Every structure is written in C-alpha cells, then in structure tokens.
Amino acid sequence: MHLHDLTIKKFHEGLVNKEFSAHEMAQEVFDLIKAEDGKIHAYLSLNERMALRQAEEADLKIAKNEPVGFLTGALMAIKDNILIEGLPCTSASKILENYTASYDATVIKKLKSSGAVFLGKTNMDEFAMGSSTENSAFGPTKNPHDLTRVPGGSSGGSAAAVASHMAVAALGSDTGGSIRQPAAFCGVVGLKPTYGAVSRYGVTAMASSLDQIGPFTKTVEDAAILFNEIKGVDAMDSTSSPQASEIKEEDLLKPKLEDIRKLRIGIPKEYFVEGLSAEIGSAVEKAIQDIKSLKVEIKEISLPHTKYALSCYYIIMPAEVSSNLERFEGIRYGSRQSAEKLIDLYKKNREAGFGDESKRRILLGTFVLSSGYYDAYYAKAQKVRRLIAQDFDQVFKEVDLVLTPVTPTLPFKFGEKTDNPLEMYLSDAFTIPVNLAGLPAMSLPVNQTKKDKLPVGFQLIGRHFKEADILGLGQYYEKLSR
C-alpha cells in the first residue's frame, strides 16, 4: 500500500490483515520525511527511536492475535505545544528552545493507550499566534500544494505533514481557527471540537477560554475515529465537560443516512460578503449544491453580530495571552542572557526569547487589562462575545448545522501579509466566531474536479457536543466524490 493511500482506517485494515507491519510503514514514513521535509519543514523534531519501538509493540500485538483498535500503530504527528514526556516541546519559541516535557498531555496518554505511534513534533506559529506558520522561531512551513504559499496557521506543520503524507494523522490546537484554516489551505480535514470536549491538560496555553485540541486527517471518517479516542471529561482539566463522555461512538463512526437527511443547514448571509474571493465563493457554492443532493434542507440565516467577532477576539485573546505567557522568563529554558540585576535578566531573556507577534499580543493584552481600560475594552468585548454566542443559540432553534467558507482567500504567498498584521488577522474572520461561542466546527475540502487548483475548504458548525452531526454529514459528503 502506497503512503498516499494510507488513512487511519486503511492502515488498520492493512495491519490486521498482515499486508504490512507497523514497523515497515513507520520506517517508510521516516524515509519520506528525510527526503521531503527539507523543503516543507513540517517537523521541528523527529522521534524515530521511540516511534519505531511503538510500532514494534503494535506488530507484537498483531502477531499474538491480540485485539487492536483503529489507532494501533497509526503514524501520527503532534503539534509542538502538546507535551509528550521525554520529547522537546518548544511551542516554536526560542524561550522554550531547550525545554523537554516531563509528563504527557491527557490526549497523549489516551493515544498511547490506543497504541498510536508518534513520529515527531510539528512546526507552528510561536505559541500558536499566527495564521501562516511564518511566526515560528525556527523557520516557516511551506504548503505542500505550492511551496511559494503558506500552509496556514498556527497548526501549519500538522496540516502540511498530513497533506504531504508524512503522517497518517496529526493533532493541532485551535484558538481562532488554527486547525480549520490550515486544513483548508492544505486540503485536509480539520476538526475543532466543542470547548470542553477534549482535555487541554498538558497543552501550552495561549488563550485558555478559547483553546481546543483537535485532529487533522485525510478523511472525515478518520477525524471521527481520532476524535472518539481523545474526547472525554478529564479530572486534570476543570474546563472539560462530562457531556463529552456521553457522545456515543456509534453516532460518530456509523452515521445513518436517514438521520443525516433530517438535518437542517443554515447558510449565514454575513459570511458571503465583499472580500470573499470568487474562487472560494464558487467552490463553497458547489459544496452547497452537492449537499443538497443528499436531500438535506438548506435555508438562509443571519448571524448579525459576526462583524464584531474579529475585534472582540483581538481583545479577549491577547488579554489571556498576556496572563498565560507571563510565566516564561527565560531562566530555566531558552538562551539565557547575562545581567547584574534580576529584573534586567528577565527583560533581556524575554526580549531575546519572544518573537515580534508574541510581543505584540502580550503588549496589547496587558494594555486592555490595565487600570482605566479594562471596562472600556475587555469587559465590553466579553459582552459582545455573549451576543455572538446568542446569535448561534437563536439560529440553532431553526437549523441543526451552519455551513460557511473557512477562509476569505486562497492560500497566500509568503510575505504577502507579514507587514500588515490586521490583514493577517482577517484570515481568521470566518473561524473566530466559533471559538468565541465554544462550538464544534470542521473544515473539509470541497470536492473539486481540477487537480491543479489550490485547495478550498468549507466549514460545518454544529451545536455544543453535536460533533456527530458534523462528522456524519461530512462522511456522506465525502462519499459523493468516490
């Protein structure tokens, strides 16, 4: 079986049928990484010794005819802000350059118990702050479909690894679109679960009320498999919800067509406005028409406070960033500077350790939380956040899902937006409302006919803890192109 054909499901079937061994496939993927990743730069570090040992353990289970799950031996890439004990976790920042994780994130514990193989840690925008992976302190990742273009961000490395077949699946984090936007740019599936559906324990925090861990996969079916493994309440994360543990495996993995046809889908007029590129608009319209062929009801809806989401996000998110990143002073990790006074040492370490975008957001967040500005900015933004969430509450009385574009433009070229932070921020205009409302959403590629086209993704948004609706419709949409 060729690496291009490998999905989690197909890998599992090949493994249990003994068509190949996990060790053989892991070695083949590492050979591909060594041959191709020099030009893509999806990975920051590789985990070859541990990965091959994990693959051998999977093969031993197969040899003994022990029961194995879908993820046994699955070759996965992990975003470099998720802790794996004994491996580097830099968050693509110089201030954590020498940090080695001392424990596993909860999602990693779950994947280890499932028998997954961890190939390495993937590149990202520093501390997940960015939409292009150009903000990594260790160099940018390139889009496998066009090396002159960005893969999106902040989880660009994970998306690129899956798109270039250097991993069967990957984990990323999504604070304002950091799974869905790179998934759209790289032509893969990216799921941002409901806030609280997947534990954040062991993940370097950016904005704690917005961050969520989720999968990158080649198919929606694979996304359902991976989400099913990592979901659930966690005693180590007080924001994780018991409702996540109640999501049934059968609903995720075996959706019924009669249930899918009962779904009602809303198309918000606020997402199809000036600024949406013609290519994106026509591709998403094609997806809408394809979904109509499933005999699903589609109607126009309105989310009137969408226009305030970007402004609201860029007050709340930096405020939480400034609080979360104040713990990094460069004393134990990173390239420690020299100074006579402790305060000067902190200043020099943070100056050398943080990149420009991180500094920009820390300063902005500190400002909006400062005396005299808290009520004018932060408190007001939280009120607007509530209005955005109420918009979704209202439309979900009429429909079950919302369908939108993921991005306003196609993947842009390197350097195209770096001189204008506001223009870069606009890349996430269609994904940010979901994070503010804590909803689940998924980006999946439009079934396009011409292979020379750049990828385009569309977004399905569901009710809280209704990932089964998104994943179910997505799986039947995928079948239309087979």
Question: What are the pLDDT digits (tens) for 279-288?
Answer: 999 999 999 9
Q: Is 131 a catalytic residue?
A: no
pLDDT of residue 450: 59
pLDDT 10s digits, 228-272 = 999 999 999 999 999 999 999 999 999 999 999 999 999 999 999
The candidate with the shortest Cα–Cα distance to 354, out of 377, 390, 328, is: 328
* Backbone dihedral angles phi then psi of residue 298, each to the nearest 5 degrees: -130, 135
Q: Is 154 a catalytic residue?
A: yes
* pLDDT bucket at 206, cuts 50 / 70 / 90: very high
The residues, ordered by sequence, that sit 6+ positions from 8 with a Cβ below 8 Å of its Cβ are: 70, 71, 74, 168, 169, 217, 221, 222, 225, 226
Q: Strand pairing partners for 370?
A: none
Six token digits for residue 362: 């820390």
Largest CA distance in the chain: 72
**Cα–Cα distance list, 22 to 102, 158, 359 (Å):** 27, 21, 43
What share of the chain in percent tops pLDDT 90?
91
Find the helix packing angle between 467-479 and 278-292, rounded to 10°: 90
pLDDT of residue 477: 96
What share of the chain in percent tops pLDDT 70?
98
Average pLDDT, the chain: 95
Give dist(CA 340, CA 358) in Å, integer.
26
pLDDT of residue 452: 55
pLDDT 10s digits, 448-465 = 655 558 999 999 999 999
Q: Is 114 a catalytic residue?
A: no
pLDDT of residue 421: 81
The candidate with the shortest Cα–Cα distance to 431, out of 450, 412, 404, 449, is: 404
* Backbone dihedral angles phi then psi of residue 46, each to the nearest 5 degrees: -110, 160
3-259+468-479 adopts what CATH topology? Amidase signature (AS) enzymes (3.90.1300)
Q: State the pTM of this model.
A: 0.96
* pLDDT bucket at 1, cuts 50 / 70 / 90: low
Q: Which amino acid would we find at residue 154?
A: S
pLDDT 10s digits, 115-153 = 999 999 999 999 999 999 999 999 999 999 999 999 999
Q: Where are the domains of the chain?
A: 3-259+468-479
pLDDT 10s digits, 283-341 = 999 999 999 999 999 999 999 999 999 999 999 999 999 999 999 988 888 778 888 89
The candidate with the shortest Cα–Cα distance to 168, out of 9, 58, 14, is: 9
Which residue in the list 93, 158, 173, 178 is annotated as catalytic? Answer: 178
Which residue in the list 154, 173, 241, 427 is annotated as catalytic? Answer: 154
pLDDT of residue 447: 81
The residues, ordered by sequence, that sit 6+ positions from 205 with a Cβ below 8 Å of its Cβ are: 211, 320, 324
Six token digits for residue 450: 């011409």
**Cα–Cα distance list, 144 to 68, 139, 188, 259, 481 (Å):** 32, 16, 11, 36, 22
pLDDT of residue 359: 96
pLDDT of residue 449: 56
Length of the chain: 482
pLDDT of residue 333: 82
